[in-house]
Amino acid sequence: MAEDILELYPDSGRRHALHGLYLEQSLAHADDAGRPFIYSNFIASLDGRIALPGANRDTHQVPPAIANARDWRLFQELAAQADLLITSARYFRQAASQEAQAELPLGSSPEFADLRDWRVARDLSPQPDIAIFSASLDIPQSALDYYRERKLFLVTGAAADPAKLAQLTADSDLKVITCGPQAAVDATHLREQLAGLGYRRIYAIAGPSVLHTLAAGGALDRLYHTTAHCLLGGTEFDTFIWGNELQPAVNLPLQAMYLDPLAPDGAGQTLAIYGS
């Protein structure tokens, strides 16, 4: 396999193949510490956009100018190491209306067969379980059915609507994790709650509000951040974190950085790893 990824930090000049790049980033220390390791991943443009309005303007989507198969491969490699995914109710609402951009990882297509085998070889469950953040509890049952082979959790606050909660849990296999007194999740104790359920490698693949909730609650250890070297502009966009100013700021020192010159075509992208 061609070694077309150039390491910029810490060993400037080393070359790597794309396949395996993030699988090599062993998350084993999560097991050593006995404490869940929580990580997330975003692709953004140079001007910081992660999503722009989609065709029908009601929902935002990752812009095709930055979405690319090489970054998607790394996204899947990170999922291959996870025992739990954190996603949002928004994903399931979009899935129910056929607007979701992809199935939740691991992808079922042949190109990710090696990653599915990688899990089996390590005695991991075939697919990571799923935790869904929601305050509204507006989660279509039909979209959950696709994932019935996995354990599904609803993460919500104590003030979420009790009637909706009763209905949702009666109609599905969702187990409820209650975090904080409001309807919105306060993630301050999320790490211990997920540890108590036996989870050790937790991959947050939701969007900007969930990332803010995790960062504000001290529940973010590492951020994988791809910057596609292009400008998108636009006035209605998402950036990768959204919420009140974080005070103090959450420090995420650089762990590694790579240059992928091959995608997006004609632009290239830097692959950075921040945190611990």
Ligand X SMILES: NC(=O)c1ccc[n+]([C@@H]2O[C@H](COP(=O)([O-])OP(=O)(O)OC[C@H]3O[C@@H](n4cnc5c(N)ncnc54)[C@H](OP(=O)(O)O)[C@@H]3O)[C@@H](O)[C@H]2O)c1
Q: Which residue has the tokens 């812009």?
A: 63
Distance CA 66, CA 59 (A): 17
Q: Is 206 in the site for ligand X (CB under 6 A)?
A: yes
Paired strand residues for 259: 6, 270
Q: Is 184 in the site for ligand X (CB under 6 A)?
A: yes
Is 124 or 229 the residue whose CB approaches ligand X more closely? 229
Computed on alpha carbons and rounded to an integer, the radius of gyration of the chain in Å comes to: 18
Distance CA 49, CA 239 (A): 5
Q: Is 236 in the site for ligand X (CB under 6 A)?
A: no
Tell me which of 74, 78, 79, 89 binds ligand X, using CB under 6 A: 89
**Interface pattern 2-41 for ligand X (x via CB under 6 A):** ----------------------------------------
Provide the minimum distance between the beta carbon of 152 and ligand X in the complex, in angstroms, as a whole number.
Answer: 15
Q: Is 209 in the site for ligand X (CB under 6 A)?
A: yes
Q: Which residue number places its CB atom closest to ligand X?
A: 207
Q: Is 60 in the site for ligand X (CB under 6 A)?
A: yes
Is 37 or 240 the residue whose CB approaches ligand X more closely? 240
Q: Tokens standing for 132?
A: 């869904």
Tell me which of 105, 107, 207, 264 binds ligand X, using CB under 6 A: 207
- What angle is formed at CA 210 by the lines to CA 207 and CA 216, rounded to 5 degrees? 135
User: Measured in whole angstroms, how far is the alpha carbon of residue 13 from the centre of its chain?
Assistant: 29
User: Measured in whole angstroms, how far is the alpha carbon of residue 157 from the centre of its chain?
Assistant: 21
Is 208 or 218 the residue whose CB approaches ligand X more closely? 208
Q: Is 90 in the site for ligand X (CB under 6 A)?
A: yes
Q: Tokens standing for 106?
A: 């691991």
Q: Which residue has the tokens 């999922």?
A: 79
Please give the residue ranges that form the binding site for ligand X (CB under 6 A): 42-43, 50-51, 60-62, 88-91, 133-136, 138, 156, 184-185, 206-210, 213, 238
